[in-house]
Amino acid sequence: MLLSLHCIPITPIIAYAAIFISSSILYWVICQQSLKPEVSPQGILPLLVILFLARASFLGTEPLGSDDVYRYMWDGRVQAAGINPYLYAPNDEALGDLHTTRLPSLVNHPEMKTIYFPLSQWISYLGYNLSGENAWGFQLLILLAEAATLIGLLLLMRELSDSPLRVLLYAANPLVILQFSLDAHVDAFGFPFLIFGLLLYCKKKATLSLLLVGLSLLIKPVALVILPILFLHERGFFNKARVAVLPVAVLLIPFIPYAVSANPFEALTTFSKHWFFNGALFSVLFPLFSDNQTTRLWCFAGLAIVLFILYLTKRPLHEKAVLAVLLLLLCSPVAHPWYMGWLIVLLPLAPISSGLALAGTASLTSITFVTYQLHGVWKDYPLVLLLEYLPVLVLLFFDLRRKGDSGRRQVVLTP
């Protein structure tokens, strides 16, 4: 179904949204079949090859749902000129000599400095050197990252003695294919680091594991909500200190060279204060407070409370990790569909119903993409938010009431 995006004869963004939403319904059918214990895992490798080729089919296709890749190109171009990417906004006159007919005119919010972390910057530099002002270099790098993620998930399922069919929960997800293989969002580079980090933790190689988790933070710090789970599970001062220090050190040290001449966190601070889109809790609280900052504080407080409660429960650690990321997404003021990839990549570990629901209903955010590209209107639609999150919240209620599979071998996250 996704491949029809190459040839369907209607406005591209409308085709994008229609295929995104309809294929997400098919995804739920795939999930149901993949999780049946009587279904044989034979044939999983040919299926994964087909899904990988579906990803590869978008190589060289201009992104449809997002223009973030042009920011990556610009950051790569700035670095290729030997300039700190955090120093200037794209439309700054100091970078006038770098301006072309495409860049930075295609960059969203050219008045803002870059928000992306150092590892993303290095990837942007590599992608720009591969393909210049074309998307295929970034899509090629993401294709390699996706291959690593799929291999990591297969190895992790084998380590857990789980069916390799669970890998389809990630591999067959339309959001993952469209947001990363087509729209080239940089989050995809964080997934193999996170998955191989968990795999190594499972294999009692905690130090290397935590270094890889730290590299995933260097793409986007989502796994910060997983670290307290590991910290509380560890025994002994050294082991706890290792969890607390290693990933955070990997996250912070690469910022130091950039901080000598610029503030790498300037754009992140602005984004954290003012941006909101598709936030479940934020959308409920904002009408009550009518103030952006107050609502954000309540969202943060709500997240802190629910995570604290989750951390103290006796659920399997892998299930805690999935629930922690899900709760982060529900409490975040900004929940772009590509953010959901951080949840979807973990679903093979613990395929909770609420997570699988969000992996499909997040496709409804494409309605905003349609109205923005056709009419210049970027907004949340209450009905869309209701349809997206109500099933998730209902299923989450039952997921939280369920005690989890206490009989399952808790290999993952157990050093």
pLDDT score, position 9: 77
pLDDT tens digit sequence for 122-166: 999 999 999 999 999 999 999 999 999 999 999 999 999 999 999
Distance in angstroms (rounded) separating the CA atoms of residues 95 and 88: 8
Distances, alpha carbon 39 to alpha carbons 109, 193, 206, 374, 390, in Å: 48, 30, 34, 44, 30
Contacts by 24-30 with C-beta closer than 8 Å and gap 24+? 24/174, 24/175, 24/359, 24/360, 24/361, 24/362, 24/363, 25/360, 26/1, 26/174, 27/172, 27/173, 27/174, 27/359, 27/360, 28/356, 28/360, 30/168, 30/172
pLDDT score, position 6: 78
Residue indicated by tokens 């934020």:
282
pLDDT tens digit sequence for 316-351: 999 999 999 999 999 999 999 999 999 999 999 999
Cβ atoms 226, 343 nearer than 8 A? no
Query: Three-state DSSP class for 152?
Result: helix
Average pLDDT over residues 237-244: 97
Distance in angstroms (rounded) separating the CA atoms of residues 34 and 347: 12
Beta bridge partners of 277: 334
Average pLDDT over residues 80-98: 98
Distance in angstroms (rounded) separating the CA atoms of residues 351 and 241: 30
Compute the mean pLDDT over every residue in the chain, rounded to the nearest whole number. 95
Q: 366 Cβ partners below 8 Å, 6+ apart? A: 16, 17, 20, 21, 65, 337
pLDDT tens digit sequence for 11-24: 999 999 999 999 99
pLDDT at 413 over 50: no
CB count in 10 Å sphere of residue 104: 23
Residue 333, preceding peptide bond in cis (omega within 30° of 0): no
Residue indicated by tokens 């149901």:
32
Query: What's the pLDDT band for 403 if we cut at 50, 70, 90?
Result: low
CB count in 10 Å sphere of residue 53: 10
Cβ atoms 333, 299 nearer than 8 A? yes
Query: Three-state DSSP class for 278?
Result: strand
Radius of gyration over every alpha carbon of the chain, rounded to an integer in angstroms: 21
pLDDT score, position 12: 92
pLDDT at 410 over 60: no
pLDDT tens digit sequence for 46-80: 999 999 999 999 999 999 999 999 999 999 999 99
Closest CA to 234 of 222, 246, 220: 246
Distance in angstroms (rounded) separating the CA atoms of residues 202 and 196: 10
Average pLDDT over residues 244-249: 98
pLDDT tens digit sequence for 193-232: 999 999 999 999 999 999 999 999 999 999 999 999 999 9
